[in-house]
A and B are shown apart, each in its own frame.
Chain A
Amino acid sequence: MTQTMIVQSFGFFIAIGLSPFFVGLIQTTKARIQGRHGPSVWQGYYVLLKYWKKETTLPENSSLIFVIAPIVSISVMLLIMLFIPWGKQLPGVLAGDFIMVFFLLALERFWTALAGLDTSGTFGGLGASRILTIGIGLEPMLFAVFGLCFFLTGNTHFAQISPLWLRQAPHLLAWFLAAGGFALTILLEIGRLPIDNPDTHLELTMMHEATQLEYNGRLFAFSHFASMCKVTAMLAIGWVWFGPTLSSQWWTLLLHLFELGVSSILVGVVESFTIKMRFFRIPYYVSAVIGMGLLAVVITAF
């Protein structure tokens, strides 16, 4: 029990601390594929530190919502990190389940979108509308994968879902469909190509960034950090559920961190060779994942 506790707290803090590094890995990978040197993998830390020290201002028409939204984002992300089993197990009080994570992600979306409307600008409102419209596809996608995981393991709890692939050899195809579906869902959730382009700096095409245009200083540092943590958290959930575990909790933690690095590089590679979709084609993407979920359910059901 104590060991679980210690591993969990270690994993929690290290994963949070390394989040900017993982995002840096994505950036570096993309730059290298484009033939550039690219920024240092530690660039995220410099940027965060700098925003932390800069002046923070509020736009005239905004309200308290504007202040709270980034705080909700960062709190939610830390909370999700807390409920991910970094070793193999979770301490009893943290036996969180995926429905909870699902609603926490919705909470973050709710507040980000609200803050977009709060600044009374068109871009913020447009970004908010886009985020939530995508959410309509995203949430069934998450449940298509979650539901499948539940079905394969009979449990909604993170720590029980983890050794899934070892037990479920007969459902290998279902496992592939679930893992693939989740990979596609992650790309959507963390705002990467082919849905959102984190490198675009044009007001008209942005989604998540459009709601952040008025932020600076500490509040921007919060939401910037939250989006980094989101990348780590979503990738980690993927590995916890679909990746292998080792006999010792410490080794498992190390393995997860290694996997996070690898998957960051993978995200960078995928992003380099993908083209942003048309906005109204996103339903096809969504239905593909939901279709995968349904197919997997049908396979396992019969």
Chain B
Amino acid sequence: MMTEISLYDAHDPWVTINAMHRQQGDELLALTGFRDQKIKAHWLLADGSIAREQVRCSSDRFMTLTTILPEVAWDEREIYDLFGYTPIAHPDLRPLLRTQRWPDDFYPLRAAMPDRPLWRDGEPDQAMKVVQGEGIVIMKVGPTHAGIIESGHFVFSVMGENILCLDAHLFQKHRGIEALLQGKSFPAIQPMIARLCGSDSVSHQYNLLQSIEQVTDRHVSEVVQYRRILVAESERILSHLNDLAQIPAGVGFAVAHQKGLALKELWQRGMAVIFGHRFLFDAMYGEVFTQEDKLHFLSLITSFEALWAKWVKLTEKNVAFHDRMRGVGKVTRQDAKQLGAVGVARRATGEKSDMRKYMPLYQVVDFTVATALGGDVEARFQVRLLEVESSLSILRQTLARMGDPSKEEPFVVPSDLTGETVTFSESPHGLNVHVIQWLDGKIDRYHIRSGSYRNWPVLAKAVEGNVVADFPLINKSFELCYSCTDR
């Protein structure tokens, strides 16, 4: 270990330039590995422009950034697993998504089109980080869970009821989507991107569209812009409703849970009528929005708001419910910053960090960034509550300003797309970034760094020191998705 640390060179230009960005308070969008031994870091600067830093891995090695930027620990581990590039002096270089079943020389992203390998027999276990000490119980939960939840494997080190350490082994559902996208054309990948994640679908679709538009320099009409806001905010409401309905279930508040589910169902049915899909799959790609849709939408909002007000009252007047959430699963501002928390988790620590403020799309509407103090379950619940309300107001504003739908020229994607784009959006789970490299109309590299991916280490940190029985509640307050993390 010591020799590795001595290899760590704090004066390496790659380290210094990234440290400088961090000093300036820039936001790291993504750390992406490429087949040609390059690793690129994209930073979002305060003025909204994007800086690209890159490093070449000579002999498959590069200097780790984790020591100065703890938030990239997972990204570097992932690069190590999928490309085999070794981050020098990484403090925790255990396999992240590689399991014992992977053949030794199998590095999927080194090939343009990787074949399905011959999996080894055995357990898909990885090295665990556990607490040592007498009487410590290693509680392994998952990958299959007792409720209707996505799959993840959690290794808790507990002492009785107290969680000392959580080592989250995600990537149980790693299917290899990034490799699958390579070599495919825009129409082919559209449904795949829409189905990356059931609760962030729209945000992923938007990032893909943005990429195409950046490469082709296309400008869409104002109506389509407004329509995109409608779809994106509809998804935010949908996703937040799901989380808001689940949090009461975690404390046995069945009435609020059921009423929350009913609200979500109402919204979903509306979505199916207006945008043609209950989860808005492929909805962002569409460009038609009729007057009838507008009326449907307005009546949906009206009927929703009536029920919503009742639901908010139901949860707000229940003192015991709020008391139950208070102080549980606390994230400090410091941890949130260091571990790169995004979205609701970050805003619940009091920071006004909302990517919508940087997105050109949202420059036409007014909204305030919802924040709460405390960083606990209650704060996250509160932020979601406020965001649903601000989304409703954005929807109303948009519908009011939206002009009559005009006939849009059908857009033909040129077959020789080439170029590299970095697109981002504020998904319901936070900053969602796609780094896409096009080559002759095909994907050469597609890197997805979703909001949940960045928040998982924050969740693991937030859980420490809480009691075991509160984990489901904390987990639900983050409501991170596994699918677009695992890919």
The answer on A and B forming one complex is yes
Q: Of the candidates A194, A271, A273, A280, which one forms a contact with B467 in the assembled complex, judged by CB atoms under 8 Å apart? A: A280
Would A35 and B252 count as touching, CB distance under 8 A?
no
Is A300 located at the chain interface by the 8 A CB criterion?
no
Q: Which of B139, B251, B255 contacts A122 (CB 8 A)?
A: B139
Q: Quick check: is A77 within 8 A (CB to CB) of the other chain?
A: no
23 A-B residue contacts at CB 8 Å? A34-B255, A34-B257, A35-B262, A122-B138, A123-B139, A125-B137, A126-B139, A194-B252, A200-B249, A200-B252, A201-B147, A202-B146, A203-B145, A204-B472, A272-B254, A273-B255, A274-B320, A275-B253, A275-B321, A276-B251, A277-B324, A278-B324, A278-B469
Nearest CB in chain A to that of B320: its residue: A275
Q: Does B471 contact A (CB under 8 A)?
A: yes
Instruction: Report the Cα distance A197→B473, complex, angstroms.
Output: 14
Q: Which residues on the B side are within 8 Å of A125 (C-beta)?
A: 137
With A204-B468, A278-B470, A279-B467: A272-B255 Cβ-Cβ less than 8 Å:
yes
Q: Does B318 contact A (CB under 8 A)?
A: yes
Q: Report the count of interface residues on A (CB-CB < 8 A).
A: 31
Asked if A136 is at the interface (CB within 8 A of a chain B CB), the reply is no
| Cβ-based interface call for A193 (8 A) | yes
Chain B residues lying within 8 Å of A30, measured Cβ to Cβ, are 254
* Known A-B contacts A125-B137, A202-B146, A276-B324; A197 and B252 likewise in contact (beta carbons under 8 Å): yes
Per-residue CB contact flags for chain B residues 129-164 toward chain A (1 = under 8 Å, else 0) read 000000001111100011100000000001011000
Most chain A beta-carbon neighbours within 10 Å: one of B138, B146, B258, B324:
B146
**Residues of B in contact with A, size category:** 20 to 34
Verify if B259 is at the interface (C-beta below 8 Å from A): yes
**Contact string against A for B residues 385-426, beta-carbon threshold 8 Å, 1 for contact and 0 otherwise:** 000000000000000000000000000000000000000000
User: A33 at the A/B interface (Cβ < 8 Å)?
Assistant: yes
- In the complex, the answer to whether A205 meets B472 with C-beta atoms within 8 Å is yes
Q: How far is the CA of A205 from the CA of B254 in the complex (A)?
A: 15
Among all A-B residue pairs, the 10 with the closest Cβ atoms = A276-B252, A34-B258, A197-B252, A122-B139, A275-B320, A205-B469, A201-B146, A202-B472, A203-B146, A276-B251
Please report the C-alpha to C-alpha distance between residue A202 and residue B258 in the assembled complex, in whole angstroms. 17
What is the distance, in angstroms, from B76's C-beta to the closest C-beta of chain A?
31
* Chain A residue with the shortest CB-CB distance to B470: A278
* Closest B residue, CB atoms, query A33: B255
The CA of A270 and the CA of B137, in the complex, are separated in Å by 36
B319 and chain A: residue at smallest CB distance: A275
Which one of A122, A202, A275 lies within 8 Å of B145 (CB-CB)? A202
Contact B259 A35 (CB under 8 A): yes
Residues of B within 8 A of A33 (CB): 255
Residues of A close to B258: CB separation below 8 A = 34-36
The interface residues of chain A lying within 8 Å CB-to-CB of B138 are 122
Which residues of chain A have C-beta atoms less than 8 A from B253's C-beta? 275
The residue from B147, B252, B468, B470 contacting A274, defined by CB atoms under 8 A apart:
B252
In the complex, the number of residue pairs spanning A and B with C-beta atoms less than 8 Å apart equals 74
Instruction: Kindly provide the distance from the CB of A121 to the nearest chain B CB, expressed in whole angstroms.
Output: 9
Flag if B161 contacts A275 (CB, 8 Å): no
A2–B470 CA distance with the chains assembled, in angstroms: 55
* Extra contacts besides A33-B255, A194-B252, A274-B252 (14): CB < 8 Å: A30-B254, A34-B258, A35-B258, A36-B258, A125-B137, A193-B252, A200-B252, A202-B146, A202-B472, A203-B141, A272-B254, A276-B252, A276-B324, A278-B470
User: Given the known A-B contacts A35-B262, A201-B147, are A275 and B160 also in contact in the complex, defined by CB atoms under 8 Å?
Assistant: no
| Contacts of B239-265 to chain A: CB distance below 8 A | 249-255, 257-259, 262
* Pairwise interchain contact B262-A202, C-beta atoms closer than 8 A: no
Task: Report the Cα distance A204→B471, complex, angstroms.
Answer: 7
Residue of A nearest to B258 (CB): A34
Report A-chain residues with C-beta under 8 Å of the C-beta of B161. 126, 129-130, 279-280
Least CB separation from A275: chain B residue: B320
Which residues from A are CB-within-8-Å of B320?
Answer: 274-275
Q: Is A199 an interface residue (CB 8 A)?
A: yes
Please provide the chain B residues from 433 to 471 with a CB less than 8 Å away from any CB of chain A in the complex: 467-471
Interface centre among A30, A34, A130, A202 (most CB of B within 10 A): A202
**Chain B's nearest CB lies how many Å from the CB of A39?**
14
Instruction: Report yes or no: A204 in contact with B252, Cβ–Cβ below 8 A.
Output: no
Whose C-beta in chain B lies nearest to the C-beta of A34?
B258
- Asked if A122 meets B140 with Cβ closer than 8 Å, knowing A199-B254, A275-B321, A279-B161, the reply is yes
Q: How far is the CA of A226 from the CA of B146 in the complex (A)?
A: 23
A200→B250 CA distance, assembly (Å): 8
**What distance in Å separates the Cβ of A151 from its nearest Cβ neighbour in chain B?**
33
Minimum CB–CB distance from A123 to chain B (whole Å) comes to 8
